[in-house]
Amino acid sequence: MCPGEVFDVTPYAKTVAYHFLRNPLNQSLPRKFKIAFSGCRHDCALTPIHDVGLLATKNNEGVIGFRMSVGGGLGSTPRLAHLLREFVPMEELIPSIEAVIKVFDNLGNRKNRSKARMKFVLDKLGIEEFKKRWEEAYHTLQEAGPTRPSLTLLPAHDDPPLIMPERPKALPDVHSNGTTSNGKGHVSPEMESLPASFVTWRSANVLSQRQPGFVAAKIKLPSGDLTADQLLALADLADTYSNGNLRTNIDQNMIIRWIPEIKIHEFYDELAAHGLGTAGAEKVEDIVACPGTDTCGLGITSSKGLARALSELFPPGETPEDLKGVTVKISGCHNSCAQHHLATFGFHGVGKRIADHVAPVYELHVGGQVNGTATIAQLIVKVPAKNVPAAVRHILDLYRQDRQSGESLPAFLKRTGKAKLKTELIPHTMLPTFEEDPSYFYDWEGEKEFSVEDLGPGECAGGALEIIDNRMLEAEQGLYQAKLLAEKHQYGMAVNKTYRAIVSGTKAILVTEGIDPNTDADTLAEFDQLIIRKGVMPAAYQNLASQFGDLGSKDASAEFTQGKLDFARRFLEACQTATEQISRNLKLAPIEEKKDHQPEPPATQEAIPDSEHTLERPQAPVLDLRGVMCPLNYVKTKLKLEMMEDGEALEVWLDAGDPIKNVPMSLRNDGHKIMAEEPLDPTKAHFKLLVEKGEG
């Protein structure tokens, strides 16, 4: 259908999707992982904003393949993908993607959800180091797995309907640029006798296919919405006029291909009868908006309400020549679900407090694009929601007043620059007080005063023993699930689950060191450095990363899988034994000591006598946490208390500032009693806290 298509990527996308469906390799990634295929140089699938982007291309010999980019993404920290391979031959397509997934699985952040995307792995490593890791993973997979046959494509049926197309004499062809077959960009005499609504719709929404006699129709869905009845009607139309296939696209619309051109008028009449005959699909008036506060729990503003307000600036089917290629995208929060970072005009909703009231406000980004050189839009100003239409109109007026000959709006925005645009828009950023104009504090189409739900403070650090117990439980659950999978002969999945159980066990042990690594690779490295080398776990478990591996081949045998299960069981038993022997100073006893005798309780650090600052109950053991930052000081204190009897006292030494402010409050919330809180030295740089363990 696309005039610039290099080749149809549909069967390749389907083959890759089915290959990774329930594949052990990607069942426990740090977070979501997105793959995009584009068949043309316009890059309609937006490959630069995906974890893996595959753009159809040909090499110098004319062989088809893909240009592979990695590490793209939007959200609150947008990143454009980096080029990994200029040309990927088809036989290397799946192995290349597998190697990327393996690097992400090993190095992706598993501690902080907001940092758990592959783009942050690229940020940390840089593209050159990432390439090295990818090459290592690629060769490791090739050596570990069986010899791969050539890529076998799954069928992706989209054949033309069993209707003989005829070239209508009365209807000239309409090209993708909106011109008719006479090439002059206006409606020909043959079209003048037809209804104006149909002529407008056909010019804006219909594309000629490369196959003579067939066209594709874009069905514009305002903000991506349609009713159940409309969807059923579209299904019937696809059966009647095409081959039964419907496609969605990235701009919230639908496309029906393979419509005989002779039938397009009839098709439109039925489409319009169901309220789906609106012109302007993928034009400036086709504004993309996320659900916003209508249905999304993360939405801050009514993005759909703003979209309807802006639609008055861009009447359907009446796109001016100078706004061709211009896009408007609106997200109700910073997560960029509407991809506002890639729009000519991109908006995302925030709130701004004025005294006791909060107003809906939008950050205005301009100049984003993908077609050609991918560019992230630039933030210009924050505009009250009520002023957004006026601000957009102001920029359009400025463009038409100051543009150079033949200059497009995106080119004008780039030439004008942020400083000038910001200066021009300052009047539209003004926000009156609620008393001066309460309408500013109501969102578009809102019936109640705007508010931003207070999500409250972040969750307090949990007790160390609970963390250890939870992680050991997670490890045991993973091993149990692995056993069930093995019994069902799903050996690859079983090995992957077993690996995850081992990682959970190592993370449980590392809590005793007051650390919580972000990635699997860091976890296993710290385990070697802090646990194995200190002799608190058997040396047989040194270098777990290379000893076990994280992947289970689809062709893994029952014997191979059972060996991994046995290894993991022995390891987790050792972890359980170690955690049960945690001493009062949070240190694991060396394994040699545990074999020969029960270690003596470690000596506690005695408090320095101070006649001016002497606490009662001097026999209380001392936990010296000077220099230990929040929240690890709280975790270590809670761990200590968990190993004490109810009513026993513990003296804790803390730094001034946040530690002495936060730890006592957290301990009170846990039900412990703060019996005394005094400076440890005259300078008040450190404090001592006497805590009585509460019940439970």
Whether residue 590 is predicted with pLDDT greater than 60 in this model: the reply is yes
Q: Is the dihedral of CA 662, 663, 668, 671 positive or negative?
A: positive
CA distance 93 to 490: 25
Report residue 180's pLDDT band, with 50, 70 and 90 as the boundaries. Answer: very low
CATH 3.30.413.10 fits 10-144, yes or no: yes
CA distance 627 to 125: 30
* CATH T-level fold of 161-282: Alpha-Beta Plaits (3.30.70)
Report residue 630's pLDDT band, with 50, 70 and 90 as the boundaries. Answer: low
Ranking 103-117, 150-164, 202-216, 497-511 by mean pLDDT, the lowest is: 150-164
Q: What is the pLDDT of residues 77-128, one digit of tens each?
A: 899 999 999 999 999 999 999 999 999 999 998 877 778 999 999 999 999 9
Between 288 and 636, where is the model more confident?
A: 288
Per-residue model confidence (pLDDT) at position 269? 96
Please tell me the chain's helix, strand, coil percentages from 3-state DSSP, rounded to the nearest 5.
40, 15, 40
Per-residue model confidence (pLDDT) at position 672? 85
Mean pLDDT computed over 667-679: 84
Per-residue model confidence (pLDDT) at position 459? 30
Residue 40 bears catalytic tag: no
Mean pLDDT computed over 550-559: 72
CATH 3.30.413.10 domain locations along the chain? 10-144, 288-441
Q: What are phi and psi of 209, to 5 degrees?
A: -80, 165
Whether residue 367 is predicted with pLDDT greater than 80 in this model: the reply is yes
Mean pLDDT computed over 313-340: 91
Whether residue 587 is predicted with pLDDT greater than 90 in this model: the reply is no
99 touches 550 (CB < 8 A): no
Task: Say if residue 546 is exposed, middle or buried (CB neighbours under 10 Å; 0-12, 13-18, 19+).
Answer: exposed
597: its two tokens? 């005798």
Architecture of domain 464-596: Up-down Bundle (1.20)
Report residue 605's pLDDT band, with 50, 70 and 90 as the boundaries. Answer: very low
Per-residue model confidence (pLDDT) at position 466? 59
Report residue 161's pLDDT band, with 50, 70 and 90 as the boundaries. Answer: confident
Longest dimension (CA), the chain: 107
Mean pLDDT computed over 655-676: 84
Whether residue 608 is predicted with pLDDT greater than 60 in this model: the reply is no
Estimate to the nearest angstrom the gap between the alpha carbon of 367 and the chain centroid: 23
Per-residue model confidence (pLDDT) at position 163? 64
pTM: 0.73
CA distance 211 to 258: 9
Report residue 188's pLDDT band, with 50, 70 and 90 as the boundaries. Answer: low
In 3-state terms, what secondary structure has residue 222? helix
Per-residue model confidence (pLDDT) at position 553? 64
CATH 3.30.110.40 domain locations along the chain? 622-692
In 3-state terms, what secondary structure has residue 77? coil
- Average pLDDT score, the chain: 84
Whether residue 613 is predicted with pLDDT greater than 50 in this model: the reply is no
Of the spans 393-397, 516-520, 548-552, which averages the highest pLDDT?
Answer: 393-397
Mean pLDDT computed over 635-659: 84
Architecture of domain 622-692: 2-Layer Sandwich (3.30)
Whether residue 377 is predicted with pLDDT greater than 90 in this model: the reply is yes
Per-residue model confidence (pLDDT) at position 638? 77
In 3-state terms, what secondary structure has residue 219? strand
Q: What is the pLDDT of residues 276-298, one digit of tens each?
A: 999 999 899 999 999 998 888 88
Per-residue model confidence (pLDDT) at position 191? 59
State in words which class domain 288-441 has. alpha beta
Mean pLDDT computed over 546-560: 73
Contacts of 672 by beta carbon, 8 Å cutoff, 6+ apart: 641, 691, 692, 693, 694
Per-residue model confidence (pLDDT) at position 593? 41
Report residue 164's pLDDT band, with 50, 70 and 90 as the boundaries. Answer: low
Q: What are phi and psi of 302, to 5 degrees?
A: -85, 85
CA distance 692 to 696: 12
CA distance 68 to 86: 6
148 touches 91 (CB < 8 A): yes
CA distance 688 to 676: 8
Number of Cα atoms under 13 Å in the Cβ half of residue 73: 23
Per-residue model confidence (pLDDT) at position 404? 95
Mean pLDDT computed over 480-509: 90
Instruction: Kindly state the helix (H) or strand (E) to which residue 384 belongs, with its residue range.
Output: strand 378-384
CA distance 309 to 386: 9
Whether residue 263 is predicted with pLDDT greater than 70 in this model: the reply is yes
Per-residue model confidence (pLDDT) at position 454? 44
Report residue 19's pLDDT band, with 50, 70 and 90 as the boundaries. Answer: very high
Ranking 60-74, 82-96, 248-262, 546-560 by mean pLDDT, the lowest is: 546-560
